[in-house]
Amino acid sequence: MNDSNISLLTPRDDTTDQKTPRYESPRKIPLSIPDKLTDDWLESLPLLSIREDGEEFVGEVLHSLVEKVEQEEPYEEFRNLCQLKPTDDCTASNLTDNKIKNRYRNVLPYDVNRVKLKGSKNDYINASYINIDIEDTQLRYIACQGPLPNTVDDFWLMCWQEEVSVVAMLTLDVESRRVKCHRYWPDSPIETLDICDGEYEVNLKSSQSLNDIDIRYINITHCPSGKIKHIIHLNYTTWPDHGTPQSAIPILQFLRLLHLLHTGGPIVVHCSAGIGRSGSLMTIDIALLYMEHMLPFNIFEIVKYLRQQKYGMIQTKDQYLFCYTACMQVLLSVAG
């Protein structure tokens, strides 16, 4: 497959204080959203938006991906990815005061694109800006670890600061009797989570559960001003750690829902470490945007770029192959 458009994957500096227009997802489609979401409605959504003249493109891309998988090229590609070295320093994450904020000692944000908390005594959080430019559009993410008990305040402060509207959580709080992520949200509407010494309150407005997704509607209130921000928390519940879902279709539906509900700000994506399932989801999402622009893409180059922004993105060869599977399944859904 022609790889000429990979040069469009360019890092961006999001650490400036310049005012920029409110970010809107390029994968959002004009579609009305019901007050109560259902699995039937989710299953009715188009997984991919391709122009009517895209039949030949779909066939060519699908053939190329199938051929690569049949020749077992993804396994060699993943081996090559594992040889990549870190591309930047992680000085901030290794400071004494910050080490206790890292869930895993070997999964750290690069200094160059780490999220910095403003107005805080300590600006550190284990989170990284991940931005992708494709033609005249941009996908913006924040990849982070699952919060620890001592980083819950930092997480919500980051969401407020970055004007986040959607959080994609890809882990359960406990998996195989091991804590993977602290339960950082209120369990019921009658509970209030006070953060930052009472400067902010986090409330669960309502919630609902689908087959593979728990949906939480959360409000963050800045108590001194009374200003409220609304966040939709989407928890994908059936993706095993270090493994892959049985089918890619629910993940593709999850991504469609994610962009439909997005109203601004970078999309926060986290699992436990913030690199395995998170890296896989972002890789698939980026590939989908290439398809929607009817542009050639290369999964190896996408993951390579992600690893330049956050070391270790996609942890296993099965997760890497799953990205191919998801791309093939979405193309098959379009091809009919």
- Using CA atoms, how far apart are residues 99 and 115, in angstroms rounded to an integer? 16
Nearest CA among 26, 10, 12 for reference residue 258: 26
Percent of the chain with pLDDT over 90: 83
127 forms beta bridges with 144
Position 241 scores a pLDDT of 83
Q: Give residue-wise pLDDT tens across range 235-260.
A: 999 998 878 998 999 999 999 999 99
Residue 72 above 90 pLDDT? yes
Average pLDDT over the chain, rounded to an integer: 92
The model's pLDDT over 75-100, given as tens digits with 9 standing for 90+, comes to: 999 999 999 999 999 999 999 999 99
Which has more confidence, 48 or 15? 48
Residue 24's pLDDT is what? Answer: 80
Looking at residue 4, its pLDDT comes to: 37
Under a CB-based contact definition with an 8 Å cutoff, are residues 65 and 328 in contact? yes
With a cut of 80, say whether residue 130 has pLDDT above it. yes
In sign, the C-alpha dihedral spanning 293, 298, 303, 306 is negative
DSSP string, 212-251: SEEEEEEEEEETTTTEEEEEEEEEE----TTS--S-SHHH
Structure tokens at 226: 């009374």
How many angstroms separate the first and last alpha carbons of the chain? 22
Amino acid at 321: L
Instruction: Give the dihedral sign, CA 36/42/47/50.
Output: negative
Q: In the chain, where does DSSP find H-type helix?
A: 39-44, 55-70, 73-81, 96-99, 152-161, 249-261, 277-292, 299-309, 317-335
Query: Average pLDDT in the 180-192 region?
Result: 96
Whether the Cβ atoms of residue 94 and residue 112 lie closer than 8 Å to each other: no
pLDDT in tens, 273-305: 999 999 999 999 999 999 999 999 999 999 999
CATH of domain 38-168+239-335: 3.90.190.10
If you ran DSSP here, which 8-state letter would residue 52 be given?
A: T
DSSP per residue over 138-176, as a string? EEEEEEEPPPPGGGHHHHHHHHHHTT--EEEE-S-SEET
Question: What's residue 14's pLDDT?
Answer: 44
**In this structure, how many other beta carbons lie within 10 angstroms of the beta carbon of residue 330?**
26
Higher-confidence position of 139 and 24: 139
Domain segments of the chain: what residues? Answer: 38-168+239-335
Catalytic pick among 159, 271, 323, 327: 271
Per-residue pLDDT band for 120 (boundaries 50, 70, 90) equals confident
Q: What's residue 215's pLDDT? A: 98
User: What pTM, to 2 d.p., does this model score?
Assistant: 0.93
Q: What is the pLDDT of residue 9?
A: 44
For residues 11 and 335, the model is more confident at 335
C-alpha 1: how far from chain center: 26
User: Does 82 qualify as catalytic in the annotation?
Assistant: no
Q: Which residues is 270 bridged to in the sheet? A: 144, 169
Residue 149 has pLDDT above 50, yes or no: yes
Give the Cα separation of 86 and 59 in Å (integer).
37
Q: What is the pLDDT of residue 336?
A: 65
State residue 20's pLDDT score.
55
pLDDT for 21 = 63
User: Mean per-residue pLDDT for 187-201?
Assistant: 95
Instruction: Give yes or no for a contact between 279 and 285, defined as CB atoms under 8 angstroms apart.
Output: no
Task: Write out pLDDT tens, residues 195-241.
Answer: 999 999 999 999 999 999 999 999 999 999 999 999 999 999 999 88
Residue 277 CB partners (closer than 8 Å, separation 6+): 170, 171, 239, 241, 271, 319
Say if CB 312 and CB 284 are below 8 A apart: no
pLDDT band at residue 25, thresholds of 50, 70 and 90?
Answer: confident
Residues in Cβ contact with 58 at an 8 Å cutoff, skipping those fewer than 6 apart: 50, 291, 331, 334, 335
The pLDDT score that the predictor gives to residue 12 is: 40
Percent above pLDDT 70 for the chain: 93
For residues 174 and 300, what is the distance between their CA atoms, to the nearest angstrom?
31
- CB burial of 201-237 (b: ≥16 within 10 Å; e: otherwise) equals bbbbeebeebebbebbbbebbeeeeeeebebbbbbbe
Question: What residues have CB less than 8 Å from 146, skipping those under 6 apart?
Answer: 103, 169, 171, 173, 180, 181, 182, 270, 271, 272, 273, 274
Say yes or no to pLDDT of 19 above 80.
no
